[in-house]
């Protein structure tokens, strides 16, 4: 493939058909670009935009984000999923303030050393903010390169990813790298889509191996199928008047650092557990409908138990909070917990 023809066609296509009005495209400042790149990981643009705008409204500068309590950061992130991103975002802001004087480093390797930033995200920040000449490999770009170059094998394997980095670097133009990188992302998002790609509208269709060999539906090679593990969880919906009891989840693991409903240990009786461990006296325990929630690596079966509390201690253990139902919209809750509370 002619690298110059491939790059120039993408740059020309981007000029007339690419996306130019996304909120984070209005600046070269690294803070908002970095914020967008983190939010866009495994999340669609249409979902990200309102979160991005609310985040910048609440934390307009990196310094304001670094100084904020992590609970406020998690509350704003609530519903966006993959919550480790929010924790790493906060840690990264604090590191930049403490170790780099509040200024993002310009070198991609130094950027990648910050919490929550991998090689592709670091390169994107360096390209869009500092004019670096580096490839990126997000999901859209991997799909585009696998099809255009006819690369077999699942892109998540080290061997295939290593080749994609090499080929991605070899295809870089000498100039207008930012337009070229944006074109790769936009082409993958709008034309070279996972299903039903619009190959007849693609500016590099005649250079594409998959299109030539009628293998577009085969590439990139899908992730090998594996059984999805299942886990079960029983949650206590403890209500007293207009309040509900929430607990802060441990920092590691599912929904780390977010508020959630207390989890009933396996094999425990709900009323006994509430009295002995939480100091609460409850009335009847009423099961609510069980539902399933899919996470990245497993499927979670959630069984809620609704309990009316009529006696509670004056002081609660650390990590437990009684909140009015009107307050729930302002705190960091996992999406399935928010939906569950809205139902019950």
Question: Domain boundaries in the chain?
Answer: 3-212, 230-343
Catalytic site residue from 37, 71, 263, 317? 37
The correct CATH number of 3-212 out of 2.130.10.10, 1.20.120.160, 1.10.3210.10, 1.10.340.30 is 1.10.340.30
pLDDT at 112: 97
CATH of 230-343, one of 3.90.79.10, 3.40.50.300, 3.50.50.60, 1.20.58.100: 3.90.79.10
The crossing angle, in degrees rounded to 10, of helices 139-149 and 158-170 is 80
- The structure tokens listed for 269 are 């009786």
Sign (positive or negative) of CA dihedral 47, 53, 59, 60 = positive
- Sequence-distant (6+) residues with CB within 8 A of 142 are 155, 164, 220
Residue 3 has what pLDDT? 65
Q: What is the pLDDT of residue 2?
A: 60
Residue 30's alpha-carbon distances to 33, 34, 100, 160, 295, in angstroms, are: 5, 6, 13, 30, 30
Per-residue pLDDT of the chain in tens (344 residues, 90 and over written 9): 566 799 999 999 999 999 999 999 989 999 999 999 999 998 899 999 999 999 999 999 999 999 999 989 988 998 888 888 999 999 999 999 999 999 999 999 999 999 999 999 999 999 999 999 999 999 999 999 999 999 999 999 999 999 999 999 999 999 999 999 999 999 999 999 999 999 999 999 999 999 999 999 999 999 888 888 899 999 999 998 888 999 988 877 788 888 899 999 998 999 889 888 888 888 889 999 999 998 877 888 999 999 998 877 665 677 888 889 888 888 888 889 988 988 87
Q: What's the pLDDT score for residue 78?
A: 83
37 catalytic per annotation: yes
Task: Classify 153 in phi/psi space as left (phi over 0), alpha (psi -120 to 50) or beta.
Answer: left
User: Residue 91: what pLDDT?
Assistant: 95
What is the predicted pLDDT for the residue at 129?
Answer: 97
């Amino acid at each position: 493939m002619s690298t110059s023809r491939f790059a120039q066609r993408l740059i020309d296509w981007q000029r007339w058909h690419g996306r130019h009005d996304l909120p984070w495209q209005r600046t070269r400042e690294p803070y908002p670009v970095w914020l967008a790149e983190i939010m866009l990981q495994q999340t669609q643009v249409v979902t990200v935009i309102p979160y991005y705008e609310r985040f910048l409204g609440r934390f307009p500068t990196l310094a304001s984000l670094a100084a904020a309590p992590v609970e406020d950061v998690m509350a704003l992130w609530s519903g966006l999923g993959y919550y480790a991103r929010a924790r790493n975002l906060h840690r990264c802001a604090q590191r930049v303030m403490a170790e780099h004087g509040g200024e993002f480093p310009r070198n991609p390797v130094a950027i990648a050393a910050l919490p929550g930033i991998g090689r592709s995200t670091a390169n994107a920040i360096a390209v869009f903010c500092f004019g670096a000449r580096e490839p990126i490999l997000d999901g859209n770009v991997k799909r585009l390169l696998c099809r255009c170059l006819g690369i077999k094998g699942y892109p998540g394997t080290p061997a295939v990813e290593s080749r994609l980095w090499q080929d991605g670097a070899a295809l870089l133009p000498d100039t207008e790298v930012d337009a070229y990188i944006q074109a790769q992302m936009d082409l993958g998002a709008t034309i070279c889509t996972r299903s039903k790609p619009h190959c007849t509208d693609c500016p590099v269709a005649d250079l594409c191996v998959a299109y030539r060999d009628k293998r577009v539906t085969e590439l990139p090679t899908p992730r090998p199928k594996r059984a999805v593990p299942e886990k079960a969880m029983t949650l206590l919906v403890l209500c007293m008047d207009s309040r509900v009891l929430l607990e802060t989840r441990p920092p590691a693991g599912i929904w780390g650092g977010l508020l959630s409903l207390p989890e009933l240990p396996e094999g425990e009786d709900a009323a006994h557990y509430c009295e002995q461990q939480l100091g609460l006296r409850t009335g009847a325990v009423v099961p609510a409908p069980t539902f399933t929630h899919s996470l990245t690596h497993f499927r979670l079966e959630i069984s809620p138990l609704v309990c009316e509390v009529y006696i509670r201690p004056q002081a609660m253990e650390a990590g437990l909070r009684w909140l009015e139902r009107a307050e729930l919209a302002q705190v960091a809750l996992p999406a399935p917990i928010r939906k569950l509370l809205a139902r019950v």
